[in-house]
Amino acid sequence: MNIQAEIKQRVAVRRQDIIQFMRDICAIPSMESMIGPVGERIQQEMRTLGYDEARFDLMGNTIGRIGNGPKVLVYDSHIDTVGVGDKETWPWDPFVGKVEEGVLYARGACDEKGSTPGMIYGLSIARDLGLLKDYTVYYFGNMEEWCDGIAPNAFVDVDPKVRPDFVVIGEPTRMNVYRGHKGRIELKVTASGRSAHAAVHYLGDNAVYKMISIINSIRELDRRFRFGMGSHPVLGHASVVVTDAAVRTNSLNAVPDQFTIFLDRRITLNESHDEVIDLIKGLIPDYLRDEIKVEELYYDTPSYTGFVFPLPKYFPAWLAEEKHPLVRAGQGTIEDLWGEPRPLGTWEFSTNGTYWAGKAGIPSIGFGPGDEKDAHSPTEHVSLDDVVTATEFYAYLPYKLQQRA
């Protein structure tokens, strides 16, 4: 049997089913981690395709399983999306979307519902061709936009309490294999002062003014990163940016007694957790050390099911070795199916790989349709041909991995 040809033929037969499934799941809003309705639709498809298990986990993510083999392979696709902002900026319904010249424009089309149809159909095709006999394979449709890495952490530690041998992350990779990305940490910096009436403001101690030099230092630190300080040869340079601010004041006629800024700090493999925090603390002048504090943020917001899984908002960088069997299997899958070598890549943004590979050390790669630069925009889109063709990759990879591992 020519496995590649058989996979291509079976994918071609299911082309319209795959596209309709994609349209269906994009049409179901799944913002703010509210992935229950879209999860129901996905589970319906898995049951139709004969999955051994299709259910919600305790957090409210969707789990599909085929087989009970000794090797565990997880296909990770987050099915939540960011919001749509002002709907007036969208020339079409952001969820139903539109198809133009074979491209679907819709919220979540690229980030990241586009990998779900291929994963689900690909695994069922692999099963039908006998390519999963030594595997337990999972489709994991999860919430990631609210806190990357929290869903896979719960997958390993809580439900189903399974540690995979390999993970494929379906974030957009332009149909290439990606092998890592920078990490990040979310911090807040709080300056404390003393309130006073604005008419006699000199009797107070303005917390906003204390932060001005810190903000300028953060801006200068980011400039130094961009000019190469601590740069990694593959992942590139680190960064830091002020993303939000909050002031506490008694009124518009009072001196603020507290001012907080929030930072997004992108991390390379050259930096440890403590070094990252100490670098920000080092920007505080000695005479303000008692009045300005740096803290790591925590995530403890309940999911839509009420499930709480508290975590620090620290997401490590990760990078798979080029010669790792999973990376080589991914590259070999592309060459076997499509007859061409393609360059390995890395993401600019963050993914669930921060947990799978960054924290848990589980071998991981990325492969998915779409381009990350199109994510989160009113023109978010994905090629439907790529959505269908990705199915071939997801079906063939387990076979290729058996040869490499």
pLDDT at 89 (0 to 100): 81
Q: What angle do CA 130, 73, 386 make, to 5 degrees?
A: 80
pLDDT at 230 (0 to 100): 86
Model confidence at 216: pLDDT above 90: yes
Are 325 and 404 in contact, with CB atoms under 8 Å apart? yes
Question: Domain locations in the chain?
Answer: 3-181+317-404, 183-299
Q: CATH class for domain 3-181+317-404?
A: alpha beta
Model confidence at 88: pLDDT above 90: no
Provide the annotated active-site residues: 80, 144
Mean of per-residue pLDDT scores for the chain: 96
Are 181 and 351 in contact, with CB atoms under 8 Å apart? yes
> Amino acid identity of 129?
L
Model confidence at 106: pLDDT above 70: yes
pLDDT at 91 (0 to 100): 87
pLDDT at 405 (0 to 100): 65
Please give the average per-residue pLDDT across 283-295, as a whole number: 96
pLDDT at 151 (0 to 100): 98
Cα of 223 vs its chain's centroid, Å: 26
Please give the average per-residue pLDDT across 114-121, as a whole number: 98
**Quick one: which of 3, 18, 219, 50 has its CA closest to 121?**
18
Q: How sure is the predictor about 317, in pLDDT bands with cuts at 50, 70 and 90?
A: very high
Model confidence at 270: pLDDT above 90: no
**274 Cβ contact partners less than 8 Å away, ≥ 6 residues apart:** none
Are 191 and 259 in contact, with CB atoms under 8 Å apart? yes
Task: Give percent above pLDDT 70 in the chain.
Answer: 100
The 8-class DSSP code of residue 374 comes to G
Residue pointed to by tokens 């990606």: 178
Model confidence at 254: pLDDT above 80: yes
Q: What is the pTM of this model?
A: 0.95
Please give the average per-residue pLDDT across 152-166, as a whole number: 98
Task: Give percent above pLDDT 90 in the chain.
Answer: 96
Q: How sure is the predictor about 403, in pLDDT bands with cuts at 50, 70 and 90?
A: confident
pLDDT at 93 (0 to 100): 94
**Residue 296: strand pairing partners:** 187
Model confidence at 146: pLDDT above 90: no
| Number of continuous H segments (helices) and E segments (strands) in the chain | 10, 19
Q: Which numeric CATH code is attached to 183-299? A: 3.30.70.360
Going along 39-81, which residue ranges are E strands? 53-56, 62-66, 71-78
Please give the average per-residue pLDDT across 342-362, as a whole number: 97
**Cα–Cα distance between 139 and 117 in angstroms, integer?**
10
- Please indicate whether the domains covering 3-181+317-404 and 183-299 agree at the CATH topology level: no
